[in-house]
Amino acid sequence: MLISCPYCGPRDVSEFTYQGDGNRPRPEPASTDQAEWNAYVYDRLNPAGDHNEIWQHSGGCRSHLAVTRNTLTHKISAVSFVRKQGAGA
Amino acid sequence: MAEYSVFSLLRNALNGNRDWKPAWRKPEPKPAYEVIIIGGGGHGLSTAYYLAREHGITDVAVLEKGYLGSGNVGRNTTAVRSNYLLPANMRFYEHSMKLWENLSHDLNYNVMFSQRGCLNLAHTPAQLDEYARRGNAMRHEGIDAELMTPAQLAREVPGLDLSASARFPIVGGLMQRRAGTARHDAVAWGYARGADRRGVDIVENCEVTGFLREGDRIVGVTTTRGEIRARKVAVAVAGSTGRVMRLAGIDRLPIESHVLQAFVSESLKPIVHTVLTFGMGHFYMSQSDKGGLVYGGDIDGYNSYAQRGNLPIVEDVMSEMLALFPSLASVRVLRSWGGVCDMSMDGSPIITTGPLPGMYLNCGWCYGGFKATPASGFAFAWTIARDEPHEINAPFTLDRFHRGLVIDDKGQGATPRLH
């Protein structure tokens, strides 16, 4: 599996660290809504198909990346810097 | 139905093995059943078996999207053990161990359960202390555990690199003698035959495509072989739980699907007679009766439903094997494969009523579901028949995450890839 880092170009997956599901909206830090925090910590969309996820190019430029990857084929259709588009997680 | 005995073996041997009967029927699905079990893997089949045997419920269909044994029951590395730390896990897996110990007799089917022991290797004094703690916890629960010194390990596993110059020198280990391996296909076939002969319909090549509802209540399923109604619909599809539950409108669960790879080497003379685990990483190995080394390591670590993994994990697993056994460097790998695992948020499973009325859910087995097969079926059948959990699965609810009652044996928190 290759991930095309927008800064470094296509690199082997072993250079990257998976930081998990990018579909988890983080509650406002001041929120005291327990159900909302529980859902953020424990509940996952886990789709069979395109999945929004966060990777870090930890063995390269160390950027955090928002990746869209198909969980059935491992095909990656989009990679961008998290800081540009923002991410839930 | 085929009865297996020394006489049937002799008779069929003399007949040139022409008279063996199929172990289970291939019935057309009926329009309605008392109970439908989605998923003809180990857990679904054992659930059907215990529903019939323990609760007298035989109007049951097991729906399998492929052929029997094509999913995780045929993809695991066959280890059976109950060496957990937390009471809920110890009680559940020890119940399973006791069922394993009598399973071949119970099913009249040789599942080749071999109590060859499971040995966890420790590489630091702190790790050995942790194993001593776990061993003591196990012995408190009446489970066998032995702490072993390097000298004992040298007698137990002669090929092991016990030298001080090893990459991660071995300082001891924790052995559970009653642990071992079983032939995974035989477990599926034995439960299938046992359920079938009690009247359960096992319907293969029958993929569930949706759920039938009356109001909130689940009252059946639509499948590639037509509509089937049932009073109770049980889901036992670990690996595909996300996909199947989405058909019922449940989008979010405390589960991620991950791929786990496994490997078999060419046949060798006996060198390892236990299940062996490496403590400075994640690696486990046993040797099959044919002589092949059966081994694996970590999951790939990203969400996947693909049943195949990537090369970095292959390299990790091989290097961990060589750290223990430098002598295996020239052994060839015969084949490798991947299976999809339900990784739960605390590393423990879910066996529960609900989450919708008329529905029952069995999932979240991470990569340890094979050893649980008998207890999972036993507890799930109880839960389906009585609409309440058995004491061994009462802690394994779906709502435990939101209620702060997680059962996190490894203490890793809600990061599924680390369990």
Q: Chain A interface, mutation test: which of B247, B252, B401, most A Cβ atoms within 10 Å?
A: B252
Q: Is the pLDDT of residue A60 over 80?
A: yes
Contact A44 B251 (CB under 8 A): no
d(CA B25, CA B23): 7
- Residue tagged 């044919």 (tokens): B290
The size of the A-B interface in CB pairs under 8 A is 66
ipTM over 0.85: yes
Distance to chain B for A70, nearest Cα, Å: 8
What's the confidence (pLDDT) of residue A86? Answer: 57
Contact B312 A14 (CB under 8 A): yes
pLDDT category at B21 given cuts 50, 70, 90 is: confident
Quote the domain boundaries for residue A66: 2-85
What's the confidence (pLDDT) of residue B417? Answer: 85
Assigned CATH for B117-179+256-344: 3.30.9.10
Instruction: Name which of A12, A51, A73 is nearest B303 (Cβ-Cβ).
Output: A51
Q: Is the pLDDT of residue B20 over 90?
A: no
Contact present, B270 and B398 (Cβ < 8 Å): no
Q: Is the pLDDT of residue B136 over 60?
A: yes
Distance to chain B for A50, nearest Cα, Å: 10
B312 contact A CB<8A: yes
Please report the DSSP string for B140-195 in residue order. HTT---EEE-HHHHHHH-TTS--STTSSS---EEEEETT-EE--HHHHHHHHHHHH
Contact B306 A1 (CB under 8 A): no
Average pLDDT, chain B: 95
Q: Is the pLDDT of residue B381 over 50?
A: yes
pLDDT in tens, B175-210: 999 999 999 999 999 999 999 999 999 999 999 999
Contact A44 B243 (CB under 8 A): no
Contact B305 A21 (CB under 8 A): no
B303 contact A CB<8A: yes
B256 contact A CB<8A: yes
Would you tell me which residues 35-64 of chain A have a C-beta closer than 8 angstroms to some C-beta of chain B? 35, 38-39, 41-48, 51, 53
More confident residue, B221 or B166: B221
Q: Which two tokens stand for residue B60?
A: 């049951």
A7 contact B CB<8A: no
Average pLDDT over residues B109-113: 95
Contact A46 B255 (CB under 8 A): yes
pLDDT category at A61 given cuts 50, 70, 90 is: very high
Domain with CATH 3.30.9.10 in chain B: 117-179+256-344
Instruction: Name which of B302, B305, B401 is nearest A38 (Cβ-Cβ).
Output: B401
Contact present, B293 and B378 (Cβ < 8 Å): no
Q: Is the pLDDT of residue B221 over 80?
A: yes
- Cis peptide, bond prior to residue B355, ω within 30 of zero: yes
Domain count, chain A: 1
Question: Which helix (H) or strand (E) is A84 found in, with range?
Answer: helix A82-85
B301 contact A CB<8A: yes
Residue of B nearest to A52 (CA): B303
Contact B242 A47 (CB under 8 A): yes
B304 contact A CB<8A: yes
Burial (CB count <10 Å: 0-12, 13-18, 19+), residue B270: exposed
For residue A39, what is the domain's CATH number?
A: 3.30.2270.10
What's the confidence (pLDDT) of residue B3? Answer: 75
Which CATH architecture is the domain B28-79+184-254+348-418 placed in? 3-Layer(bba) Sandwich (3.50)
What's the confidence (pLDDT) of residue B189? Answer: 97
What's the confidence (pLDDT) of residue B1? Answer: 45
B245 contact A CB<8A: no
Contact A69 B302 (CB under 8 A): yes
d(CA B371, CA B368): 7
Contact present, B310 and B342 (Cβ < 8 Å): no
Q: Is the pLDDT of residue B53 over 60?
A: yes
Residues of B in contact with A33 (CB under 8 A): none
Percent of chain B with pLDDT over 70: 100
pLDDT in tens, B288-333: 999 999 999 999 999 999 999 999 999 999 999 999 999 999 999 9
pLDDT in tens, B343-379: 999 999 999 999 999 999 999 999 999 999 999 999 9
Residues 6+ apart with CB under 8 A from B134: B83, B84, B85, B145, B174
Distance to chain A for B402, nearest Cα, Å: 6
- Residue tagged 């040995």 (tokens): B119
Residues of A in contact with B338 (CB under 8 A): none
d(CA B135, CA B175): 9
What's the confidence (pLDDT) of residue B2? Answer: 53
Domain with CATH 3.50.50.60 in chain B: 28-79+184-254+348-418
B29 contact A CB<8A: no
Q: Is the pLDDT of residue A89 over 90?
A: no
